[in-house]
Amino acid sequence: MRSGFRWRQGAGDATRGGSSGARRIAWPRTLTAKRNASLQADHLRFVHEEARGGVLHCFVLDCSHSMLSGQRLALAKGLLVALFDQARATRSEVALVCFGGVGADVRFGPAVPRWWNERWIARVGGGGGTPFLLGIETASALLERAARLKPAQQRQLWILSDGRSSGSPSRPAHADRVVFVDFEQGSLAIGRCAELARGWGGEYLPYHALISA
């Protein structure tokens, strides 16, 4: 899988329309603005200059049993490969936290990813419970350490999950931006990712919006 999605690199994203510094469309914010409507000019959000201290994208991947249904985990891993490739091209740092079963751990970074992304991400397995709270706590600690080491760096937190979890963690204090990528499928949706995104003041995207953008 390869995604056409390009993320926002800097902190200066325009709220409405373009301005003299705009270079390309920031698709996550544009898609959030348009929701289910047809794309209009006033939905567009634009990317501005890159963060001077660089960018860290911290991905939190749900590897619980529910993510095995409908190949959700496989879809999430394919999207991660595409996003890691984009990070490598822009020299952005990434980190990957995986949670599932009874634990959570840091699988990569923070570091600039290399060309073998697809090879090692493919080996990430799934199953067991959904320790969502532990996954967020692990990411929060990682972001806190990154903030101490590189205070000028912009820190973006991505949560890839179907939302089939309990617990209500607080938004990590050192995340400058939060994006929930929702892998929930089927007619019995509970909307947990959308609910958390609203509560955290973050962005919400169904996974297929990033794949097709």
Average pLDDT over residues 39-49: 66
Q: Which domains can be identified in the chain, with CATH numbers?
A: 51-212 (3.40.50.410)
Reading phi first (left if > 0) and then psi (alpha if -120 to 50, else beta), residue 35 is in left
Specify which residues 204 forms β-bridges with: 180
The confidence score (pLDDT) of residue 38 equals 78
Choice between 127 and 19, residue whose per-residue pLDDT is larger: 127
The confidence score (pLDDT) of residue 19 equals 36
Strand 55-62 vs strand 154-161: parallel, antiparallel, or unpaired?
parallel
The confidence score (pLDDT) of residue 142 equals 97
CA-to-CA dists, residue 56 to 66, 156, 182, angstroms? 28, 6, 21
Structure tokens at 89: 């091209």
The confidence score (pLDDT) of residue 35 equals 72
Choice between 14 and 84, residue whose per-residue pLDDT is larger: 84
Q: How far apart are CA 9 and CA 37, in angstroms?
A: 26
Strand arrangement, sheet containing 103-111:
103-111, 93-100, 55-62, 154-161, 177-182, 203-206
For 176-206, the pLDDT digits (tens) are 999 999 988 766 667 889 999 999 999 999 8
For 121-178, the pLDDT digits (tens) are 766 766 666 788 999 999 999 999 999 999 999 999 999 998 887 778 899 999 999 9
The confidence score (pLDDT) of residue 148 equals 95
For 94-117, the pLDDT digits (tens) are 999 998 887 888 989 899 987 766
Residue 9 has pLDDT above 70, yes or no: no
Residue 26 has pLDDT above 80, yes or no: no
- Exposure string (b/e) for 190-210, b if CB count within 10 Å is 16 or more? eebbbebbeebebbbbbbebb
Q: Report residue 12's pLDDT band, with 50, 70 and 90 as the boundaries.
A: very low
pTM: 0.75
